[in-house]
Amino acid sequence: MEVNMMGMDIDKHKIGIEFFGVMVMVLVANATESAMLAGLTAGLMYTLAMGISGGHLNPAITLGLMATKRMEPKEGGQYIGAQLAGGLVAFLVADIILGNTIASAATTGGMVELWQDMAAMTLAGLILMIVWLATVDSDHSGFAMGGFGVGLILWMLDESSFKAWNPGEHLSQGLWGVFNGTSGAIDLPTFWLFWVFPTVGVLLATVLWDWFHDEDDSAKTDVVSDE
């Protein structure tokens, strides 16, 4: 269902599931120390969202699709706004209603740790996007398997103590810290890294995906020509 708000056409179903999916994932991840439960929740949310909005639930995916012209900037901006809002509401519920302590957003340390974090963020974006493309961009109907795959990936990331795979959650966590008076809530010199490198991983995955598909199409064309 589309509505017109301030001159913008907004699909409430798509924006709503992006908001709800991020909210639930962030809330569960911050309400439990179980990486397995966080991963299973993410898998469920991605499975639900893939058939409605495409199941981004991560600004890095949205930015990658916008950069490769798979998505219009106007709609992409709406998705990112919904994702950030979902994260903020999750931290609000966790902090005020559940009484959980919200840590400051992740930062990166010295040069060695910086390179490790950059590599980890890029790899996380690449793997996540490959699973997404294999599920959604190929017009496959196996959303459950795609969502399950994403959940396993996020489970492994959480087990490795690397939780900054979602720049929207990272920024929402920092913003909530600012609103709530948490000292050092946003580390300005490093917070942009958590947006750039997952998005770089998403773009690399998209380029590789298109390249392999172009190779397959060329091979099929050559076979038909030979016949």
CB 47 within 8 A of CB 64: no
Tell me the CATH number at 159.
1.20.1080.10
Residue 128 tokens read as: 């996540």
What are the pLDDT digits (tens) for 18-36?
999 999 999 998 888 788 8
CB 168 within 8 A of CB 19: no
Q: Could you give phi then psi for residue 102, rounded to 5 degrees?
A: -95, 120
Domains: count for the chain? 1
Give the C-alpha separation, 120 to 226, whole Å.
45
What are the pLDDT digits (tens) for 163-182?
667 899 889 988 888 887 76
pTM score of the predicted model: 0.85
What are the pLDDT digits (tens) for 95-141?
888 888 877 788 877 667 788 888 888 988 998 899 888 887 665 55
**What's the pLDDT at 32?**
81
Q: Which of the four pLDDT bands, split at 50, 70 and 90, describes residue 204?
A: very high
Residue 197's domain spans which residues? Answer: 2-226
